[in-house]
Chains A and B, each alone.
Chain A
Amino acid sequence: DIQMTQSPSTLSASIGDRVTITCRASQSINSWLAWYQQKPGKAPKLLIYKASNLESGVPSRFSGSESGTEFTLTISSLQPDDFATYYCQQYNHDSTFGQGTKVEIK
């Protein structure tokens, strides 16, 4: 299995902050990485696919980037609706999710 190591597990931030979440793959996944947002009691929502492609309807304050096997989700200016848990998913071989990052109010 390809392992996805996501960090941090919890992040405290304020409205307007720039937030960065990282996911590292245990081997090359050829940019086949997605990011999701999940709120309590709800299904995950796809934000970004193929490392940096913004899903339709997702605000432009969300962006994704990659450097080798390290992938980053950035929220440029945190909004009240963004407090949630975020997961990365590799889909290069099978599918594996990161452990999640909970973004909390500071």
Chain B
Amino acid sequence: QLQLQESGPGLVRPSETLSLTCSVSGGSISNGGYYWGWVRQPPGKGLEWVGSIYFTGSTYYKWSLGSRLTISVDTSKNQFSLKLTSVTAADTAVYYCARPRPQCSSTSCPFEYWGQGTLVTVSS
């Protein structure tokens, strides 16, 4: 059974960098041809797709996050990571990592497997 687990600091200061890692177990990031994704959800609000990455390192980002966002992959550790620079209170959210459903290898897919989510608060 595929499992995803987010990890990283729960508190980040404004203007600093938010860094999270998604560890995948029960399956290999390198198999299946998926774009693994990050989705976030501000407290009490809706879902927002952040970006996705292929095991080769090809990335696909939400345009409004622009140059602040970097997603990377480490296939040797079966992990992928998110870095968001110059954070503000608007970046406070539960961050989920997720994998698309089978037979969907495009950059945009519905997500079948999700991590439990990790709350990141941006505050001084």
**Is A93 a contact partner of B108 (Cβ separation < 8 A)?**
yes
* Stretch touching chain B among A15-23, A42-50, A68-76: A42-50
With A91-B110, A95-B108 given, is the CB distance from A46 to B49 under 8 Å?
Answer: no
**Is A55 a contact partner of B112 (Cβ separation < 8 A)?**
yes
Q: Which of A10-57 contact B (CB under 8 A)?
A: 32, 34, 36, 38, 42-44, 46, 49, 55
Residues in A whose Cβ lies below 8 Å from that of B98: 43
Residues in B whose Cβ lies below 8 Å from that of A38: 47
Interface majority SS on A: helix, strand, loop or mixed?
loop
**Is B116 a contact partner of A91 (Cβ separation < 8 A)?**
no
Interface residues on A, range: 20 to 34
State the Cβ distance, A4 to closest chain B Cβ, in Å.
10
CB of A65 within 8 Å of the partner chain: no
Alpha-carbon separation in the docked complex, A44 to B113 (Å): 9
CB of A92 within 8 Å of the partner chain: yes
State the Cβ distance, A93 to closest chain B Cβ, in Å.
7
**Is A97 a contact partner of B49 (Cβ separation < 8 A)?**
yes
Chain B residue with Cβ nearest A98: B46
Alpha-carbon separation in the docked complex, A49 to B101 (Å): 9
**Is A92 a contact partner of B108 (Cβ separation < 8 A)?**
yes
State the Cβ distance, A55 to closest chain B Cβ, in Å.
7
Interface residues of B (CB under 8 A from A): 37, 46-49, 60, 62-64, 96, 98, 101, 106, 108-112, 114-117
What are 8 A-B pairs with beta-carbon distances under 8 A?
Answer: A1-B63, A32-B108, A46-B101, A89-B110, A91-B108, A95-B49, A95-B108, A97-B47
Interface residues of A (CB under 8 A from B): 1, 32, 34, 36, 38, 42-44, 46, 49, 55, 87, 89, 91-100
